[in-house]
Amino acid sequence: MNPVARRSTATSITSLTLTAGTNGIGAGSRFQLYKRVAPIIYDYTVTTAMTSLDITGLSIDKGSEYMLVGQIINASGSGSWLNLYANANLTKTNYYSQYLYATSTSVSALRSNDARFEYSTTGFGNIMIAKIKLTNNGYIITQSDGIAKYGSLALELFNSYITSTFTATSITSLTIGSDVANVIGIGSRFKIIKLR
């Protein structure tokens, strides 16, 4: 069966149901659902396919916490890693990334001398949430959780952690970039939320 055929969509989420085996949710179990109250400081939907996206005008200091939320639609015909650069420093070797990748029952890990934070698979979408922080000693840290091929049988998970090898006093811009042209397709959307 074609995994794409399993996709279904909705215009809104009106209810959630948690299920478990017999007595799987015991007495005293507690669930909380939170509504975002933090401000969205950047919200952009891609109207023309692009290879990289610059987000400027930021002011992330050592006391701040920000979250980048992205939905990536790849219609380029080729899969590619997306890199997350800060302050227009686009030199890959000025970053290190450590990531985990899971598909079906296989899990693999790798460290690389670059700023990889998500893999975009052609013909499928990706959802990612990246926490962005400037450490007290000035390093730029990103913790990213991603789901690739959502809506299909072939779901893939990515967890990526990036550190800069250079320091900064603030983060003024972010660049999401790829080595493959037009990987960031029409309909891709990126938001930055100020948590603190």
Q: Is the model's pLDDT at 34 over the cut of 80?
A: no
Question: Helix (H, G, I), strand (E, B), or coil: what is residue 15?
Answer: coil
Mean model confidence pLDDT for the chain: 88
Domain 39-142+171-196 fold is Jelly Rolls (2.60.120)
Give the pLDDT confidence of 111-154 residue by residue, as tens digits: 999 999 888 887 778 899 999 999 999 999 999 999 988 877 88
Question: Helix (H, G, I), strand (E, B), or coil: what is residue 142?
Answer: strand
Give the pLDDT confidence of 121-132 residue by residue, as tens digits: 877 788 999 999
Give the pLDDT confidence of 85-120 residue by residue, as tens digits: 999 999 999 999 999 999 889 999 999 999 998 888
Please, which residues have CB within 8 angstroms of residue 99's CB and are 6 or more apart in sequence? 109, 110, 112, 116, 158, 159, 160, 161
- CB–CB of 149/72 below 8 Å? no
Mean pLDDT of 23-49: 81
- The confidence score (pLDDT) of residue 6 equals 46
Q: What does the block give as tokens for 113?
A: 């001398």
